[in-house]
Amino acid sequence: MLPLPLLVRRARPPGNTRYIRIPAQLATALASVDDATNNRWTGRKLLVWIIWLSLLIAIAQPWQPGDTVVQPVSGRAIALAVDVSGSMERQDFTLNGQTSDRLSVVKQIAKDFIAQRQGDRLSLVLYGKEAFIASPLTFDLAAVGSILDSAGIGMAGRSTAIGDALGLSIKTLQSDPATDKAIVLLSDGTNNAGSVEPESAAELAVGMGIRIHTIAMGSEDTDRGGYSVAQSADLDEDTLKSVAETANGKFFRARTIDDLQAVYSAIDTLESAEVTAPPVIIRQDLRFWPQCLLLLSLLLLTWLQRVRT
């Protein structure tokens, strides 16, 4: 398109432009080219052609190849099922030197686990008497961590529906195209609510190629605040073990905050990202430079026109 102004000017009948229908902006530009061509002052003529050339370069959208980057996409989908039943308010863990409830401890440790799952898509299921999807599968790990941080004890009821939580997690993963799928379920109680049996959910997961890792949480310290209590008396380890074994996963027992950190580290290793996406070349857009040159040339040409008049 560079010689277009000259071609259009030569195609016009001499002294008459009414037979050629052209936009007003282009007509003005052509008139400027004519004036600049017939004028011996080459500065204005040069500016007109610089403007035209800058416009064409900007329209061509120039870019420069940058560094080759491998996108951290693993092809893995993980559903985190976190217990928010009433028993999670028991203060039998020590967090930052202070006695803390179980859910607060889970929030801190699980958020670190979430942040390390770069390349995975994560879903968050919260459950008590009922289970609900707090976050669908997403690459936005910060959003999943924020949703977990806003979870409250008893927001889904005071009971514990482990089977329903597993069923909802499976439903979240079943139609996903990910090559590897896993559920990480944390509970501090026994399945005493809901309509789905945990073992049945585990068998369903096996048929869909979904692994289930279970975490049994609860302190065995019987002396808290001067009272002798059985902190994990209602923890059903046998059911959680059975679910993990059936669904080709691992069972973990977390009695202290250090145990819980080690559990999530172990799961992070078990579900490590081994698949990488094809490399991507980052493009650096260079349109800024011809656009700046175009703007400066137009301003200078406008200033020269005013000086001459």
Position with higher pLDDT, 304 vs 207: 207
Q: Rounded to whole angstroms, how far apart are CA atoms 234 and 119?
A: 37
Q: Rounded to whole angstroms, how far apart are CA atoms 270 and 252?
A: 13
How confident is residue 226, by pLDDT bands cut at 50, 70 and 90?
A: very low
Average pLDDT over residues 127-154: 94
List 121's β-bridge partners, or say none: 77
Amino acid at 217: M
Question: What are phi and psi for residue 184, nearest 5 degrees?
Answer: -115, 105
Q: Are 152 and 305 in contact (CB under 8 A)?
A: no
Helix 141-149 and helix 102-115, axial crossing angle in degrees, nearest 10: 180
| Residue found under tokens 């889904």 | 156
Position with higher pLDDT, 33 vs 143: 143
Helix 42-59 and helix 24-38, axial crossing angle in degrees, nearest 10: 140
Position with higher pLDDT, 97 vs 37: 97
pLDDT of the residue at 159:
92
pLDDT of the residue at 227:
41
| E-strand stretches of the chain | 63-70, 76-83, 93-95, 98-100, 121-127, 131-138, 180-187, 210-217, 223-224, 227-228, 251-254, 279-285
Q: Quick one: tokens of 266?
A: 């172990």
Q: Give me the half-sphere count of Cα atoms (radius 13 Å) on the Cβ side of residue 69.
A: 9
Q: Rounded to whole angstroms, how far apart are CA atoms 266 and 243?
A: 18
Position with higher pLDDT, 20 vs 151: 151
229 pLDDT more than 50: no
Give the number of other Cβ atoms within 10 Å of residue 66's Cβ.
11
- Put simply, whether the predicted model's pTM sits higher than 0.75 gets the answer no
- pLDDT tens, position by position, 253-292: 998 899 999 999 999 888 765 555 455 566 788 888 999 9
- 3-state class of 157 per DSSP? strand
Domains of the chain: 4-65+283-308 (no CATH), 76-270 (3.40.50.410)
Q: Rounded to whole angstroms, how far apart are CA atoms 128 and 160?
A: 5
Closest CA to 170 of 199, 211, 141: 211
- pLDDT tens, position by position, 12-53: 665 554 545 556 655 665 565 555 455 445 677 888 888 899
Q: Quick one: tokens of 213?
A: 């890792």
Average pLDDT over residues 94-105: 88
pLDDT of the residue at 183:
96
163 pLDDT more than 50: yes
- 3-state class of 204 per DSSP? helix
Position with higher pLDDT, 205 vs 269: 205
- Whats the size of the chain, residue-wise? 309
Q: Are 83 and 160 in contact (CB under 8 A)?
A: yes
Q: What is the mean pLDDT of the chain?
A: 83
| % of the chain surpassing 70 pLDDT | 79
How confident is residue 300, by pLDDT bands cut at 50, 70 and 90?
A: confident
Average pLDDT over residues 101-125: 91
168 pLDDT more than 70: yes
Q: Rounded to whole angstroms, how far apart are CA atoms 257 and 206?
A: 31
pLDDT of the residue at 217:
92
pLDDT of the residue at 213:
96
Poorest-pLDDT segment among 67-71, 210-214, 264-268, 275-279 = 275-279
Closest CA to 192 of 218, 221, 217, 163: 163
pLDDT of the residue at 65:
79
DSSP conformation class of 86: G
- pLDDT tens, position by position, 231-262: 566 788 999 999 999 999 999 999 889 999 99
Q: Are 48 and 260 in contact (CB under 8 A)?
A: no
Q: Are 230 and 222 in contact (CB under 8 A)?
A: yes
